[in-house]
Amino acid sequence: MNSLQKALVTNAIFSTTSALIMLIFSTAITNLFGLEERLPFLVIGAGLLFFAGTILFEVKRQRTKAVYWIIIQDVLWVLGSVVLLLLQPFGISMMGNVLIATVALIVLIFAIWQYLGVQKLQK
C-alpha cells in the first residue's frame, strides 16, 4: 500500500467513525454542543458516510482528479470549521468548539497527506 492509499484509507476510517458517532449518538452530541436540534448532526453523519464511500472507491483507482476533489472537500471542511469558530453563528459550547477545531486539524492533516501522496504518485 502506497502513501496515498494509506492516507485515503485512514481518512475513510476517520470519516466513517465520525459519521457513525454522529448518527448513533446524535442526541448526546447535540447536548455536548449546547444545541437543541440534532438534525444537523444526522445530515452531516449521513453525508460523511457517503464521503467515506467515495474515498474508499479511490483507494485502488487513485485517479488524480478524483483524489484532488477529495482534498478540496477536506479543505472546504477545514475552512467551514474556521468560519464556524470565528463567527460563532449558532452559540456552540466551548467543548463543541474544541471538537470542531480538533476535527478540522485532523482533516487538514489528511488533506496534506493526500496531497503529498498524489504528488509522489505523479512523479
> What is the domain partition of the chain in residue ranges?
3-122
Give pLDDT, residue 22: 98
Give pLDDT, residue 67: 97
How far apart are alpha carbons 110 and 115 in whole angstroms? 8
Per-residue pLDDT, averaged over 36-61, amounts to 97
Name the percent of the chain lying above pLDDT 90: 98
How far apart are alpha carbons 44 and 41 in whole angstroms? 5
Name the percent of the chain lying above pLDDT 70: 100
Per-residue pLDDT, averaged over 32-58, amounts to 97
Residues with Cβ within 8 Å of 117's Cβ and at least 6 positions away in sequence, in order, are 2, 3, 4, 5, 6, 7, 8, 67
CA torsion angle for 23, 28, 34, 40 (degrees, to 10)? 10
Average pLDDT in the chain: 97
Give pLDDT, residue 123: 76
Question: Are 104 and 82 within 8 A, CB to CB?
Answer: yes
| Residue 122 backbone dihedrals phi, psi, to 5 degrees | -75, -20
pLDDT-derived band at 63, boundaries 50, 70, 90: very high
pTM value is 0.95
Question: Are 45 and 26 within 8 A, CB to CB?
Answer: yes
CB-CB neighbours of 88 under 10 Å: 10
Q: Which residue has the cell 467551514?
A: 80
